[in-house]
Chain A
Amino acid sequence: ILNVEQSPQSLHVQEGDSTNFTCSFPSSNFYALHWYRWETAKSPEALFVMTLNGDEKKKGRISATLNTKEGYSYLYIKGSQPEDSATYLCASRRDSGYALNFGKGTSLLVTP
């Protein structure tokens, strides 16, 4: 089983602050790294799927980078808003089959 670790476990920031989270994963046999946002009472929603070393992806104020050689990915949120409050999950594709292995998530709270 690939161990996917996320830090911090939780984060509380003020509206307008920029923030970032870390996802680390074993770099051997890497296939893909996924980021999801999970808002309370909703279903997890895919943000990014990244496969190449050095990949950078952006969606609005959210961006992510990937380093497959050292086994980490960063998720950045610029100018956090209360609607960004959610749990952010990362997941790495497993060696066998298609299934993903998830980290425990980072819970973000943005207060006005």
Chain B
Amino acid sequence: DVKVTQSSRYLVKRTGEKVFLECVQDMDHENMFWYRQDPGLGLRLIYFSYDVKMKEKGDIPEGYSVSREKKERFSLILESASTNQTSMYLCASAIKQGYNSPLHFGNGTRLTVT
């Protein structure tokens, strides 16, 4: 089974801090994604990556950046955390071939910015 591991289940950070959310997958997937989930809004795409060192903005990239130095690891960076970035963050990966591959999700990181 594919395993997608997010480094923290819960995080509490202060406004203005630089925050790193880490995600590692063990199935050699080319595609990796970061979503955030907020009540009443559903999953919204922040960034995705289709290869090492490649990244694409999603729907809500403002205030975030990403890093993909190795195929298995995709990091989401909050340059200066703000209270409106309090959310559940989900990482996912998928194999590249075809358009039919399902996403494999991590368990999520619930981030609170105070």
Contact = CB atoms under 8 A, between A and B. Distances in A.
A69 B108 CA distance: 35
Contact of A44 (B50, B56, B59, B105): B105
B105 A89 contact: no
Contact of A99 (B33, B40, B90, B105): B33
Interface in B31-66: 31, 33, 35, 40-45, 48, 50, 56, 58-59
A49 B100 contact: yes
Interface residue tally of chain A, by bracket? 20 to 34
A104 B96 CA distance: 25
A97 B99 contact: no
Interface-centre pick from B43, B90, B101 (highest chain A CB count, 10 A): B43
A25 B12 CA distance: 36
A50 B4 CA distance: 23
Interface in B86-114: 90, 94, 96, 99-108
Interface in A60-76: none
B101 A49 contact: yes
A32 B99 contact: yes
Interface string A1-20: 10000000000000000000
- 10 cross-chain pairs, A with B, having the tightest CB-CB distances, nearest first: A46-B102, A104-B42, A102-B43, A43-B105, A44-B105, A43-B107, A49-B100, A99-B48, A31-B99, A102-B42
Interface of B: 4, 31, 33, 35, 40-45, 48, 50, 56, 58-59, 90, 94, 96, 99-108
Given A51-B99, A97-B50, A98-B94, 17 more contacts: A31-B99, A36-B105, A41-B107, A42-B107, A43-B90, A43-B106, A43-B107, A44-B90, A46-B104, A49-B100, A93-B99, A97-B48, A97-B56, A98-B50, A98-B99, A99-B45, A101-B45
5 contacts: A36-B105, A44-B103, A91-B43, A102-B35, A104-B41
